[in-house]
Amino acid sequence: MYTLPRIIVALDFDCMKSALAFVDQLSPLQCRLKVGSELFTRGGPELVRRLVDLKFSVFLDLKFYDIPNTVAQACLAAADLGVWMVNVHALGGAAMMSAAKNALQSYGANAPVLIAVTALTSYNEKEWQGLGFKQNLNQSVVQLAQLTQQAGLDGVVCSAQEAAVLRAEFGPSFCLVTPGIRLAGNMHDDQQRVATPEEALAAGSDYLVMGRSITRSPEPEAVLMRLNSVF
Ligand code: C5P
């Protein structure tokens, strides 16, 4: 289940100054923003607060993966920053995800949306199998999503290629956030399981995470305007 805007721009910049200069061209009505490990390690909570103060919905994409107590406390710290969405790794297990969910309950209706990463979109089947998993990538993603839903989380990060199956399996209110989005004709870079925005929407994705397709565009606003017109 989504609310507009549905595009989350991944602010993968190497310094706070460039990130803020880029954000200056954007409006919270056009997009949400994602702060990942690179930028957070550079800009820290101060940057996140700045973006929240600018009225952007911020997805703090730090993919927490640790023991239950540590992850629960990290989720509380994220909620204190006023972020809209935060995530953990489903591979951290049911106890860890439940601890995160329970910790956020004190925030009531103001709690950030809590989602879990199933399998990174940069994995391909060979690499996944090489980690020792018996199931194939698609089966593993479904199982990890099931664990996520049972732990009471709001949804998962998944590739658009898995979104249709997850939508059918877990229903309309399970939030699907899909990175690995590329405009037709764009390079795939390090992503393996990619889709166009249209394909991701058709597959049932709620929110599209778009990094380089927008941040490297000479006209990011125009790209956003064009994409928003089809939502
Ligand atoms: O530039 P690009 O559109 O590939 O950026 C994708 C963003 O989504 C990056 O910030 C990356 O860290 C993030 N992400 C991902 N795969 C996941 C979870 C997050 O690519 N499973």
Distance in angstroms (rounded) separating the CA atoms of residues 49 and 39 = 13
Distance in angstroms (rounded) separating the CA atoms of residues 67 and 57 = 27
What are 95-130's pLDDT values in tens digits?
Answer: 999 999 999 999 999 999 999 999 887 888 999 999
Top mutation candidate among 7, 121, 137, 227 for ligand 1, by most atoms within 8 Å of CB: 121
- Determine which residue's CA is closest to atom 2 belonging to ligand 1: 211
**Token pair in block for residue 196:** 């166009």
17 labelled catalytic: no
Residue 196: name the closest of 208, 217, 175, 182 by CA. Answer: 182
How is domain 7-228 classified at the CATH fold level?
TIM Barrel (3.20.20)
Catalytic residue among 17, 34, 55, 63: 63
Q: Which residues, in sequence order, are CB contacts of 149 under 8 Å at separation 6+?
A: 170, 174
Residue-level pLDDT at 132:
95
Distance in angstroms (rounded) separating the CA atoms of residues 201 and 167 = 11
Residue-level pLDDT at 144:
97
Contact between 142 and 163 under an 8 Å Cβ cutoff? The reply is: no
What are 13-22's pLDDT values in tens digits?
Answer: 999 999 999 9
Amino acid (one-letter) located at 154: D
Q: Mean per-residue pLDDT for 190-195?
A: 80
Residue 184 has pLDDT above 90, yes or no: no
**Token pair in block for residue 190:** 């390090």
Q: What is the pTM of this model?
A: 0.95
Give the up-direction half-sphere exposure of residue 24: CA atoms within 13 A in the CB hemisphere: 7
Confidence of residue 154 (pLDDT cuts 50, 70, 90): very high
SS3 20: helix
Atom of ligand 1 nearest to the CA of 10: 10
**Cα 10 → chain centroid:** 9
- Determine which residue's CA is closest to atom 3 belonging to ligand 1: 211
Sign of CA dihedral 101, 102, 107, 109: positive
Confidence of residue 231 (pLDDT cuts 50, 70, 90): confident
Q: Which residues, in sequence order, are CB contacts of 127 under 8 Å at separation 6+?
A: none
